[in-house]
Structure 1
Amino acid sequence: MSSFDPAPETTPVPKPSAGGQDEPAEAPARIGTIVWGLVVLALAVLIVISQLGIVVLNGTYVLIGLMIGAGAALVAGGLLAARKRDNGTTNGKS
């Protein structure tokens, strides 16, 4: 074989996966994580606003409002997730 001969064609060999299993797809963000993150963010913003003296906030009312909003968001998110999950076909069994 001289230095002017083209390199022989080879086909790439697929690498075997560990344990013969495919890697799982990334899971979507969970509803509870998003809602509680928004609650913490809202609470932080309200604390900053109250410390700046822009408005005077009653802590009890703020917490009640945040808990009502978080509860409503968790219920709505759970219903949407259940609705999304139940779109598969049924096999006729209960």
Structure 2
Amino acid sequence: MDSNIPTTAGQDPAGAAPARVGTVVWGLIVLALAALIIVAQLGIVTLNGTYVLIGLMIGAGVALVAGGLLSARKRDNDPMKRKS
């Protein structure tokens, strides 16, 4: 028996892990910044960097809190993971 072969003990082969809220939020922030940079370079609108950063941080904070609450709610509804 070769000991270099990885085992799947303790893993759930039925499905892939869901995307984490933080990863999705940071991905959206990067996309929003890229879109704003493109819009600003095309001259369609003039942007104030401070206001853009404030808006992105407020949006990211709201998305992280909402995602965390939804994740906690989903986890609490799972009978296998319910707190006693």
TM-score, normalised via structure 1 length: 0.71
**Counterpart of 2:55 in structure 1: which amino acid?**
G
Cα 1:88–1:50, aligned 2, differ >3 Å: closer, same or farther? Answer: same
Cα 1:51–1:87, aligned 2, differ >3 Å: closer, same or farther? Answer: same
Answer yes or no: is 1:39 the counterpart of 2:24: no
C-alpha distance in structure 2 between counterparts of 1:19 and 1:67, whole Å: 42
Q: Which runs of 5 or more residues in structure 1 are unaligned?
A: 1-17
Greater gyration radius: 1
1:15-60 superposed Cα distances (whole Å, 9 cap, x missing partner): xxx6572643421000000000000000000001001100000000
Q: Percent identity?
A: 68
C-alpha distance in structure 2 between counterparts of 1:50 and 1:70, whole Å: 21
